[in-house]
Amino acid sequence: MADRSADRGGRDATVIRSTGTVALIAAFAVVLLEIAGTGTPEWPRLLAVVLAVTGVGLRIEAALVRSRGSA
């Protein structure tokens, strides 16, 4: 029974980490598009910051979930 919960925790951490990576890549893409464009409004900067913070937070959460599962 414990093996199944540990395996599920590992899969959950992988999904969380992957989602965080996608959010970070999206933030990077928004920043690149903003640099390429001229006269853009303020919302792309806010979107990039929100995506970057969310991505980093999800990756930290995945690390915590994985470390709890292996302990």
Whether 49 has a pLDDT exceeding 80, the answer reads yes
Measured distance CA(38)–CA(52) in Å, rounded = 22
- Model-level pTM? 0.72
At 31 the pLDDT is: 86
* Alpha carbon distance 56, 43 (integer Å): 20
- pLDDT on residue 1: 45
Q: Among 56, 71, 61, which Cα is nearest to 13's? A: 61
Q: What residue segments make up the domains of the chain, in order of their start? A: 4-69
The distance of Cα 23 from the centroid of its chain, to the nearest Å, equals 5
